[in-house]
Amino acid sequence: MNHKLFDDTRGFTLVELIVGMFVAMLIIGAATTAFILQNRASSVQQGTSDMQLSAQVAIEMLERDIRMAGFGIDRNTAVSVDDAYTSAGGVYAPVLAANTDGLFVNYNTGTAAPYFYYIEPPGTAGREGGLTRLDTATDAVETIASNVEDLQVTINNDPVTGLPVVTVSLLIRSPFNDPSFNQDHPGITVAEHPGIGASVNPAADNFRRRVYVTTVRPRNIGL
């Protein structure tokens, strides 16, 4: 009994191989593009999340210290909250970044321990830079939130109670730039970032930025 195996079989032609390779390259290219776009979107989302987390940590610490300002201090002889230390002058002016404010808070539990909040340039003393808190009693320096570019502070009296109300505004950027974010920054207005005195236009450097504002009424002043 004769058996003829594979008599009618044949391999792929050169044209078929080229077409198959071309289709495979299209599929691989589409999958690679989708991966890159998804990875970029994930990075942007992570950066935004990190920015919001940094803002939340900074705002919560500022609110806590400002709200408790003056605790344990003789209110008749001590100024509990003072925003006079800015880049234009004051004892701590040398540590301030240009055009930013500093916030000086006396928070006392028996011995003087005033805190000074300011913006520290990246790389100072090997630290990340950003919103920084200096304990003027011990000279201890702590980075509160990196990527904070600007701090503005205004202190006004409440029209009803006459007591001071502290408004703190932080300008924060994403931890890394996004090449796809290439639009010109629309500018930051005084209404968005109270205390800056005039609108500012950040550089078109592919960083995303947001302004976070909080208003705090100190508990221990004027009681």
Query: Per-residue pLDDT tens for 56-75?
Result: 889 998 998 888 776 665 65
Q: What is the pTM of this model?
A: 0.72
CA nearest neighbour of 173 among 132, 125, 206, 143: 206
Query: Is residue 114 situated within a structural domain?
Result: yes
Query: Are 157 and 164 spatial neighbours (Cβ–Cβ below 8 Å)?
Result: yes
Query: Is residue 106 situated within a structural domain?
Result: yes
Query: Is residue 77 situated within a structural domain?
Result: yes
Q: Which whole number is the average pLDDT over 118-130? A: 87
Query: Is residue 10 situated within a structural domain?
Result: no
End-to-end, the C-alpha distance of the chain in Å comes to 114
Per-residue pLDDT, 159 = 82
173-210 pLDDT per residue, tens: 888 777 777 766 778 888 888 888 888 888 778 888 88
Query: Is residue 66 situated within a structural domain?
Result: yes
Note down the domain range covering 155.
39-216
With 50 as the cut, is the pLDDT of residue 87 above it?
A: no
Query: Is residue 56 situated within a structural domain?
Result: yes
Query: Is residue 146 situated within a structural domain?
Result: yes
Query: Is residue 212 situated within a structural domain?
Result: yes
CA-to-CA distance for 166 and 213, rounded, in angstroms?
Answer: 11
Q: Looking at this protein, which amino acid is placed at residue 149? A: E
CA-to-CA distance for 130 and 154, rounded, in angstroms?
Answer: 19
**In the chain, how many domains are there?**
1
